[in-house]
Amino acid sequence: EAQVTQNPRYLITVTGKKLTVTCSQNMNHEYMSWYRQDPGLGLRQIYYSMNVEVTDKGDVPEGYKVSRKEKRNFPLILESPSPNQTSLYFCASSFLRGVQGPYEQYFGPGTRLTVT
């Protein structure tokens, strides 16, 4: 079954404790991306990747890191989480339309993160 998986689905942590949210896709997609969703602000892009070892900042990259060492995986790293990073996080992936960019995206189920 074609899917994007995220782990964990729910996480409560404390300020400053490093954490990683994993994202994996089984569709051989080139494009992968992380988003956060907050009430009243909607979805905002954190980082995206066009392929292995190629990552770029989105609209709200501060406080986050990513890596793309394998095509299927795109982990999101919060090295020193703060309460303002409490949010619902989505990973997504898609094929690329050559220079025209990503096709329709497949989204993971979301990770609800609370930082106290």
Partner 1 sequence: KNEVEQSPQNLTAQEGEFITINCSYSVGISALHWLQQHPGGGIVSLFMLSSGKKKHGRLIATINIQEKHSSLHITASHPRDSAVYICAVLLTGNQFYFGTGTSLTVIP
The secondary structure element, H or E, covering residue 54 is: strand 54-57
Tell me: does residue 105 bind partner 1 (CB under 8 A): yes
**Only segment of 17-25, 62-70, 74-82, 84-92 that touches partner 1 (CB under 8 A):** 84-92
Tell me: does residue 52 bind partner 1 (CB under 8 A): no
Tell me: does residue 12 bind partner 1 (CB under 8 A): no
Question: How many chain residues interact with partner 1 (CB under 8 A)?
Answer: 27
Q: The tokens 């494009």 sit on which residue?
A: 31
Instruction: Name the nearest CA neighbour of 110 among 93, 94, 88, 92.
Output: 88
Tell me: does residue 45 bind partner 1 (CB under 8 A): yes
DSSP characters over 56-113: EE-S--TT-EE--SSTTB--EEESS--GGG-EEEEEEEE-B-GGG-B-SPEE---EEE
Q: Which of 13, 67, 88, 95 binds partner 1 (CB under 8 A)?
A: 88
Q: Which of 62, 98, 100, 116 binds partner 1 (CB under 8 A)?
A: 100
Backbone angles phi, psi at 84, to 5 degrees: -75, 0
List contacts with partner 1 (CB under 8 A): 31, 33, 35, 40-45, 48, 50, 56, 58-59, 88, 90, 92, 100-107, 109-110
